[in-house]
Every structure is written in C-alpha cells, then in structure tokens.
Amino acid sequence: MFRDTVRRWLYRHGHASRVARFLNAAQARLAAAGVGPRWLVMVEVTGRRSGKTISFPAVIADYDGGRYLVSMLGQDTSWVRNVRAAGGRAALRHGDREPVMLHEVDIDQRPPVLRCYLQRAPGARAHIPVDYRAPVEAFEPIAARYPVFRITTAKEARRR
C-alpha cells in the first residue's frame, strides 16, 4: 500500500528522516498543548549523551488496565536507549506534565500490548510485520524486537 511505503520511507534505516523529524516535532508540540486524543502524548526523557531533555510524540496503548509505550522501530532507537539510561524516568505531556516511570515489559508479556498498540497507532503498522487484526499468538515471534514500557505514575508507585 502506498501509505505504508511512505511511512517506511519516513523512517528508512531505522531513523527518522528530516521530514519525519519535522512532522514529529509538530505533532509533539500539539500533543504537549493537549490537542488531540489523550493517548497521543509528548514524551520527555533526558538524553544519555547530552543531558538535555529530548522530546518526541508517542501513542499510548491501553491494555488490561495499564498504559504502555511501544518502540515501533525496535531496540536501536534513541528514545529507548535514553529511557534505559535514565532508569525509566520520563514525563508525559498532554496539556499537563506528568512525571512517570517507564518499566520495560518482559518479552513474554509483550504480544497483547503490541496488538493493542497497532490497533491504536496506524502509523506504526508499516514498521511491525504482523497485521493488527492477527491473533495475539502471531506477535510472539517478533515480541523481542519491539521494546514495550509500562507507564507508572508516582501515585501508582505509592499504591504498590
């Protein structure tokens, strides 16, 4: 499909092109301002090399009472490496700023979240090689390639 070809082109070689970076920056600013659905957010994380705040748009997948972030481009994305280096500390912005912790999900727990994510994020479908309508079992062979992070807030952490 033409749309998928364009989406893959925007992220060729596993990194955002200039056009994708421009579009992501615009989308992140809109999400941060609270424009659009609640599940479209701007994520802020400290850069592992620069120490500066890095921000990017993301889609939150809701599954089984939890909120999750998924790396549609896999393990080698900067934001995944930054989150790991920051010990999971990040912030979500959609109108208000919400400090959060991102906890990496075990591989065997990822398939249903990946499926939910693809149902909500059509832009990611070109990058994950399983149809969003496929059964959860179809996501098991690829789950190790796509990091998934469970979002918890300070309030949730205190309840545990």
- In this prediction the pTM is 0.86
CA 57, 65, 123, 104 torsion: positive or negative? positive
pLDDT at 48: 94
Residues 40-92 pLDDT 10s: 999 999 999 999 999 999 999 999 999 999 999 999 899 999 999 999 999 99
Burial of 30-46, coded b for 16+ CB within 10 Å and e otherwise, reads ebbeeeeeeebbbbbbb
The CATH H-level (homologous superfamily) assignment of domain 2-159 is Electron Transport, Fmn-binding Protein; Chain A (2.30.110.10)
Distance (Å, whole) CA 117 – CA 32: 20
* Domain residue ranges in the chain: 2-159
Percent of the chain with pLDDT over 70: 83
CB 90 within 8 A of CB 115: no
- What average pLDDT does the segment 94-103 reach? 96
pLDDT winner (highest mean) among 16-20, 97-101, 155-159? 97-101
